[in-house]
């Protein structure tokens, strides 16, 4: 295996690159545009690619065995790292581009929005929010709409690493519930979908869904096998350093951890760390999520991401961060249906009483997501900053609002936070940095709330 971008190729590798077969992937790795989604590995018909953990930066990136590569170019064509043609994909999937108003800009195309939960109290209590994703997968499996689902649990052998898999039983689907705030190369599992009989649902972050949709453009078989794309809202994910930092604060050595869960145990949930000694540590969500909320351990590529609500999914799911659900101690999710098929499956599951859903206004969904406005409104600012530093940026083929002055200091603070958090020697000061920033954060949130953009 040869890490891409480091120019340690087999003899004929340079020729293949110049022939343009995997030039885009080389471009992605060299310019740090990889989301770590795993699509390139999942679609490679020659098993020429694998994901490798970069211990220092706490992310995954692909590597290529040039001796196995035939230069088919499928990896490059499917990679969402350097380009996602939103206009083309919107038209292909929904037959139209999103409405030209603030909600269309924030949420993309949608049919209806719901709040809801699984009617199974255990599933609801042990999921990320209301357990809608897990319960819908179980419903589809029972009804034989799917034979399995691409989900992500944690590795038994290496408990701090995510474990994408194809779940084919009730136990496997439930075992993979809850959100994983660490790198997840979910789309490596497209390989198994391609090589198995049957129909599948895929669950993923927006960048996973981008990779799946791009791969489906080139691989008809994949398009036929995946019957439902279930997207999770995503402000950003975290590098492995976030988990390392949390363990550092808890004074736990990573070798002593037998299991970790970032959510679950009601709403908004707990970080649960199980130790090999049999002890268990629980930290309430609001206490540990601060470093995530302040983007301390945000992967570089997430700074350039334009999708918060998984705009290319059939249904997208979110936490119900709304004041009316604040005192709900068990949990509630939000769902945004975007395609006829997504809407039908949600309605069928509701009719079977496996889930309880209530229609809500799309404005309420947008209001529930504080980070979404910042992420979408200020993306142009970050793209501009990267470009002015001579860095390459991804192409999206979609309209973005012009940057406002307020976006620059806020984006600048994120760059500083990332820098500080990348230095382990400064970890004891991170909480202090966050406390210093809280008042500024409130002023910015107010300014952004009063100035919705993206509408025409």
Ligand X SMILES: Cc1cc2nc3c(=O)[nH]c(=O)nc-3n(C[C@H](O)[C@H](O)[C@H](O)COP(=O)(O)OP(=O)(O)OC[C@H]3O[C@@H](n4cnc5c(N)ncnc54)[C@H](O)[C@@H]3O)c2cc1C
Q: Which of 39, 102, 127, 163 binds ligand X (CB under 6 A)?
A: 127
Picked from ligand X, ligand SF4, none, the partner binding residue 305 (CB below 5 to 8 A depending on kind) is: ligand SF4
Three-state helix/strand/coil letters over the chain: CEECCCCCCCCCHHHHHHCCCCHHHHHHHHCCCCCCCCHHHHHCCCCCEEEEEECCCCEEEEEECCCCCCCCCHHHHHCCCCECCHHHHHHHHHCCCCCCCHHHHHHCCCCEEEEEEECCHHHHHHCCCCCHHHHHHHHHHHCCCCCEEEEEEECCCCCCCEEEEEECCHHHHHHCCCCCCCCCCHHHHHHHHHHCCCCEEEEECHHHHHHHHHHHHHCHHHHHHEEEEEEECCCCCCCHHHHHHHHHHHCCCHHHEEEEECCCCCCCCEEEEEECCCCEEEEEHHHHCHHHHCCCCCCHHHHHCCCCCCCCCCEEEEECCCHHHCCCCCCCEEEEECCHHHHHHHHHHHHCCCEEEEEECHHHHHHCCHHHHHHHHCHHHHHHHHHHCCCCCCECCCCCCCCCCCHHHHHHHHHHHHHHHCCHHHHHHHHHHHHHHHHHHHHHHHHHHCCCCCCC
Q: Which of 24, 78, 115, 129 binds ligand X (CB under 6 A)?
A: 129
Question: Looking only at residues 235 through 264 of this chain, which bind ligand X when binding is defined by CB under 6 A?
Answer: 235, 237
Q: In whole angstroms, what is the distance from residue 159 CA to residue 331 CA?
A: 25
CA distances from residue 140 to 145, 228, 341, 346 in whole angstroms, order as listed: 5, 10, 12, 10
Q: Residue 81: what are its φ and ψ, rounded to 5°?
A: -65, -40
From the list ligand X, ligand SF4, none, which binds 140 (C-beta under 5 to 8 Å, kind-based)? none
For ligand SF4, the binding residue among 13, 136, 246, 305 (CB under 6 A) is 305
Query: Which residue, 52 or 290, has its beta carbon nearer to ligand SF4?
Result: 52
Is 376 a binding residue for ligand SF4 by CB under 6 A? The answer is no
String marking each residue 31-50 x if it binds ligand X according to CB under 6 A: --------------------
302 binds, among ligand SF4, ligand X, none (CB under 5 to 8 A by kind): ligand SF4
Contact call for residues 184 and 236 (beta carbons, < 8 A): no
Burial class (CB in 10 A: 0-12, 13-18, 19+), 327: exposed
Kindly state whether residue 234 participates in binding ligand SF4, applying the rule CB under 6 A: yes
| Choices 47-55, 63-71, 181-189, 393-401; region in contact with ligand X by CB under 6 A | 181-189
Residue 357 contact among ligand SF4, ligand X, none, beta carbon within 5 to 8 Å by kind: none
Q: Which does 381 bind (CB under 5 to 8 A by kind): ligand SF4, ligand X, none?
A: none
| Site of tokens 């206009």 | 87
Q: With respect to ligand SF4, which residue has the nearer C-beta, 135 or 187?
A: 187
- Kindly indicate which of the ranges 299-307, 312-320, 380-388, 433-441 contains the residues binding ligand SF4, using the contact rule CB under 6 A: 299-307
Binding marks (x or -) toward ligand SF4, 255..294, rule CB under 6 A?
----------------------------------------
Least distance (Å) between residue 290 CB and ligand X: 14
Question: What's the burial of 389, exposed, middle or buried (CB within 10 Å: 0-12/13-18/19+)?
Answer: exposed
In DSSP terms, 150 is beta-bridged to: 166, 202
Q: Site for ligand SF4 (CB under 6 A): which residue of 25, 113, 132, 379?
A: 25
Cβ proximity to ligand SF4: between 38 and 153 the closer is 38
- Give yes or no for residue 204 binding ligand SF4 (CB under 6 A): no
Asked if 294 touches ligand X (CB under 6 A), the answer is no
**With binding defined as CB under 6 A, does residue 80 bind ligand SF4?**
yes
Q: Does 211 bind ligand X (CB under 6 A)?
A: no
**CB 377 → ligand SF4: shortest distance, Å?**
15
Contact 257, 241 (CB under 8 A): no
Options 18-26, 92-100, 130-138, 240-248: segment touching ligand X (CB under 6 A) = 130-138
For residues 45 to 64, the per-residue mask of contacts with ligand SF4, x marking binding by CB under 6 A and - elsewhere, is -----------------x--
Single residue of 191, 213, 229, 236 touching ligand SF4 by CB under 6 A: 236
Q: Is 178 in the site for ligand X (CB under 6 A)?
A: yes
Among 203, 209, 212, 313, binds ligand X (CB under 6 A): 203
Return the number of the residue (124 or 376) whose C-beta is nearest ligand SF4: 376
Q: By CB under 6 A, is residue 301 in contact with ligand SF4?
A: yes
Closer CB to ligand SF4, 80 or 264, in the complex: 80
Closest alpha carbon to 272 in 152, 154, 167, 369: 154
Which residues bind to ligand X, rule: CB under 6 A?
127-134, 151-152, 176-181, 184, 186, 203-205, 208, 232-235, 237, 317-319, 333, 369, 371
Interface ranges with ligand SF4 (CB under 6 A): 25, 28, 34-40, 62, 79-81, 205-207, 211, 234, 236-237, 301-302, 305, 307
């Amino acid at each position: 295996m040869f890490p891409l971008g480091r120019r340690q190729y087999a003899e004929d590798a340079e020729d293949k690159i110049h022939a343009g077969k995997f030039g885009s992937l080389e471009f992605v790795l060299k310019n740090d545009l990889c989301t770590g989604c795993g699509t390139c590995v999942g679609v490679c018909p020659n098993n020429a690619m694998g994901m490798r953990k970069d211990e220092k930066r706490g992310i995954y990136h692909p590597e290529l065995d040039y001796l196995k590569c035939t230069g088919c170019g499928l990896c490059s064509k499917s990679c969402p790292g350097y380009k996602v043609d939103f206009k083309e994909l919107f038209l292909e999937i929904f037959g139209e581009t999103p409405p030209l108003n603030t909600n269309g800009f924030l949420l993309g195309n949608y049919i209806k929005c719901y709040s809801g939960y699984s009617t199974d109290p255990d599933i609801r209590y042990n999921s990320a929010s209301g357990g809608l994703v897990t319960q819908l997968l179980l419903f589809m499996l029972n009804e034989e709409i799917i034979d399995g689902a691409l989900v992500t649990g944690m590795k038994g052998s290496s408990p701090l690493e995510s474990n994408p898999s194809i779940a084919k039983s009730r136990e496997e689907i439930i075992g993979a519930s809850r959100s994983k705030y660490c790198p997840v190369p979910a789309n490596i599992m497209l390989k198994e979908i391609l090589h198995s009989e049957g129909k599948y649902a895929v669950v993923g972050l927006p960048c996973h869904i981008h990779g799946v949709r791009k791969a489906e453009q080139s691989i008809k078989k994949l398009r036929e096998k995946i019957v439902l794309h279930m997207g999770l809202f995503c402000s950003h994910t975290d590098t492995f350093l976030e988990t390392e930092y949390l363990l550092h604060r808890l004074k736990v050595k990573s070798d002593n951890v037998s299991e970790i869960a970032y959510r679950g145990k009601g709403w908004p949930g707990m970080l649960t760390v199980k130790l090999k000694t049999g002890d268990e540590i629980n930290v309430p969500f609001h206490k540990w999520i601060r470093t995530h909320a302040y983007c301390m351990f945000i992967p570089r590529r997430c700074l350039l991401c334009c999708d918060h609500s998984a705009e290319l999914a059939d249904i997208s799911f979110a936490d119900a961060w709304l004041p009316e659900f604040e005192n709900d101690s068990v949990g509630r999710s939000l769902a945004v249906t975007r395609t006829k098929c997504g809407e039908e499956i949600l309605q069928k599951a509701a009719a079977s009483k496996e889930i309880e859903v209530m229609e809500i206004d799309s404005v309420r969904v947008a209001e529930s997501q504080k980070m979404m406005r910042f992420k979408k409104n200020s993306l142009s600012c970050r793209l501009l900053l990267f470009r002015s530093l001579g860095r390459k940026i991804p192409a999206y083929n979609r309209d973005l609002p012009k940057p406002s002055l307020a976006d620059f200091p806020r984006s600048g603070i994120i760059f500083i936070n990332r820098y500080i958090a990348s230095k382990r020697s400064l970890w004891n000061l991170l909480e202090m940095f966050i406390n210093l920033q809280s008042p500024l954060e409130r002023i910015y949130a107010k300014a952004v709330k009063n100035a919705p953009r993206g509408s025409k």
